[in-house]
Amino acid sequence: MLGVKPYATWVALVWVSLGLAAPVCTAQSFGALGVPHDDTAAIQAAIEACSQKGGGVVRLGAGTYLSGPLFLHSDITFELDRGATLLGTSDPSVYQRPNGTLWALINAEGAHNIAIIGAGTIDGQGQSWWAKVRAARQAGTVEPKRPRLIQLSHVQQVRVEGLTLSNSPSFHLVTAFAEDVEIRNITIRAPADSPNTDGIDPMSTHNVRISYCTIDTGDDNIAIKSGAIDPTHPAAGSSDITITDCTFLHGHGVSIGSETQGGVRDITVQNCSFEGTQNGLRIKTSRGQGGEVQEITFRNLYMQDVGTAFSFSAYYPRIPPTDTAQSISSTTPNLHNIYLSGLTIQNANRLGFIIGLPERPIREVWLEGLQASANSGLIVRNARVRVETSQLQVAKGEAFQIEAEGEVLNEGAQR
């Protein structure tokens, strides 16, 4: 796991080790003028100039700047000063890639030692994109493609710190096929009804630390995914991810899935609060895109007024009332060794559900030291759950609703 000093970029450390100051390239010195001008070329010129010097800091000073897609290189720190706002253009044509997909506003591919830091704001101006999606959904037509705010692919040694990310047309911050990622003290904001505006999405990514972040969005606050993301890497997994000391407001909480084909393991979420989120903790997958999800720990979490405290399902997005066993394949979900301890849940609408497949039940879910109050309890189907030293209070029905092949081993729970 990375150990990164606050606001000390990887590239700066390299230059300091050589006894030199890291080159600084200001966007203004390359012609950035601020709105209403399009400053894409000026900002990219500053990035290229620093890269040609072996790396350095590309700085965006106070002001508001309009830009299309930007591309970071190895050993580059992109820093937004306090009072600096980078706006993503709403022109769809500039995001088009030759392969038919879209660039993000900020991109890095195959780079190492990169950082995006500062006290400024990156705003995707997603309002016009969301309106088109809503119209398409209402009409039942194909939704238009939307760019992400930041996409970092096949990268190593990455840090994102201090910034505010807002109003992405779709996902805000994506790391794909990445290693050694530090995301610290950032704020992500989008309206609660903004479609598919995930906060942070580590996809097939290893060695990640996410801490002291506040995320308030219209979809998953954090979503960990693996496999089925890139056809050239169908079995790429996600592992060794720690999420600590974060606050989640509107959104779907911390999710694993729905793509889990490459496997997800060694995930820890601790010392976080969930305030009014639609969901708290989710593991969501399904036949055909499942993999092994194991060694998942949720520890010392506080939830207030959430919709569903936790839900682990192998039937995403819809759970049938009944089902029959099917043949097991390499993409049959395999969820096991999931630990929840020290959770305080107040005034949840429902405690949740743990529902596996008849051919492969969810195994070894541990609930320990839970203090929970909810309108309704926990549904357990095709799953084995152990409960220890917990107090579960529900307003309606039983704390545990045990359905087909569900098993709850109660070793000290009070209901």
251: its two tokens: 């959104």
Angstrom distance (rounded) from CA 54 to CA 388:
56
C-alpha 217: how far from chain center: 11
Residue type present at position 225: K
HSE-CB at 124 with a 13 A cutoff on CA atoms is 34
Element (H, E) at 136: helix 127-139
Angstrom distance (rounded) from CA 205 to CA 177:
5
Does 252 participate in catalysis according to the annotation?
yes
Diameter of the chain by CA atoms?
A: 68
10 Å Cβ neighbour count for 56?
24
Residue among 201, 219, 220, 250 flagged as catalytic: 219
Residue type present at position 63: G
10 Å Cβ neighbour count for 124?
28
- Per the rule left: phi > 0, alpha: psi between -120 and 50, beta: everything else, 129 is alpha
160 pairs with which residues across the strands?
116, 183
Q: DSSP letters along 248-298, please? A: E-SS--EEEEEEETT-EEEEEEES-EEES-SEEEEEE-BTTS--EEEEEEE
Q: How many residues does the chain have?
A: 415
- Per the rule left: phi > 0, alpha: psi between -120 and 50, beta: everything else, 240 is left
Residue among 172, 206, 250, 252 flagged as catalytic: 252
Element (H, E) at 107: strand 106-109
Angstrom distance (rounded) from CA 219 to CA 199:
8
10 Å Cβ neighbour count for 352?
27
Q: Which residues are catalytic?
A: 219, 252
